[in-house]
Amino acid sequence: MKVTVSRKAHFNAAHRLYRPDWSFEKNDAVFGKCNNPNFHGHNYDLTVSVTGEIDPETGYVVDVKILKDFIKSEIEDAFDHKNLNVDVPEFKNLNPTAENIVVVIYDKLKAVLDSNLKLEVTLYETPRNFVTYSGL
């Protein structure tokens, strides 16, 4: 019997979508307003879902306080009020699209969670645009 436990989180961050090996014109054609050289911000919302067996002793799949603390230390402290391109080492050479951000978030949380737990992360860049990664 497996149960999924989810926790929502939030961070604000700036980014710019571009490839330094492309001309400004090509970046503009592909990334549009997101290629603004002066960066722009998003209010990112996050849902972290953890699936596993219920521990018969505690009745928990995962202690939500521990999950909350991991999200804070690994994601919020690293990304909140940061410029993703400039301040976050994972994006030094990786375009900070929602797709790439959700994979980085997944990898950071996967590294600290119990390996028996299945992880899925959904990242909302806007209320209508969101991406999901579960390690596939």
Whether residue 74 lies in the annotated active site = no
Select which of 10, 40, 53, 81 is catalytic: 81
Q: Residues binding Ni ion: what is the number (CB under 5 A)?
A: 1
What number of CA atoms fall less than 13 Å from residue 35's CA on the CB side? 14
Determine the 3-state secondary structure of 53 from DSSP: strand
Q: CA 121, 124, 130: angle at the middle one, nearest 5?
A: 85
The two three-digit tokens of residue 23, written as one number: 């001309």
Does position 101 interact with Ni ion (CB under 5 A)? The reply is: no
Whether residue 125 lies in the annotated active site = yes
Does position 34 interact with Ni ion (CB under 5 A)? The reply is: yes
Tell me how far, at minimum, the Cβ of 89 lies from Ni ion, in Å. 20
| Catalytic (active-site) positions | 34, 81, 125
Binding residues for Ni ion, rule: CB under 5 A, are: 34
